[in-house]
Amino acid sequence: MSQARPFTVITGASRGIGAEYARALAAQGYDLLLVARDHTRLDMLREELQHGHQGEIWTESLDLSQPQAASTLYEMAHSHREEVSLLINNAGFGMYGDFADMPLANIQSMLQLHMNTIVESTRLFLPAMLARQHGAIITVASVAGFFSIPYMTEYAATKAFLIAFSKGLAREIQNQCVTIQVCCPGFTDTDFHQTAGHKPKHVLFAQSSQKVVQTSLRALQSKRTLVTIGWQGRLATWTSKMVPQTILMALAGKFVKPPSSIPKHQPSH
Ligand SMILES: NC(=O)c1ccc[n+]([C@@H]2O[C@H](COP(=O)([O-])OP(=O)(O)OC[C@H]3O[C@@H](n4cnc5c(N)ncnc54)[C@H](OP(=O)(O)O)[C@@H]3O)[C@@H](O)[C@H]2O)c1
Arithmetic mean of pLDDT, 75-79: 98
Euclidean distance between CA atoms 223 and 175, whole angstroms: 11
Q: Please give the model's pTM, rounded to 2 decimal places.
A: 0.94
Q: Does the CB atom of residue 17 touch ligand 1 within 6 A?
A: yes
Ordered DSSP codes for 131-147: HHT-EEEEEE--GGGGS
Query: What value does the mean pLDDT take over residues 128-157?
Result: 97
Residue 261: per-residue pLDDT: 58
Our answer on whether the CB atom of 92 is closer than 6 Å to any ligand 1 atom is: yes
93 lines ligand 1 (CB under 6 A): yes
Local confidence band at 203 (pLDDT 50, 70, 90 cut-offs): low
pLDDT above 50 (res 269): no
Counting ligand 1 atoms within 8 A of each CB, the residue from 93, 112, 187 with the most, and so the one to mutate, is 93
134/258: higher pLDDT: 134
How far, in Å, CA of 70 to CA of 66, rounded?
Answer: 9
Mean pLDDT estimate for the chain: 92
CA dihedral 25, 28, 31, 33 (to 10 degrees): 0
Q: What are the chain's domains?
A: 2-256 (3.40.50.720)
Query: Which of 10, 21, 33, 37 for a ligand 1 pocket mutation test, highest count of atoms within 8 Å of Cβ?
Result: 37
Residue 158: CB within 6 Å of ligand 1?
A: no
Whether the pLDDT of residue 267 is over 50: the answer is no
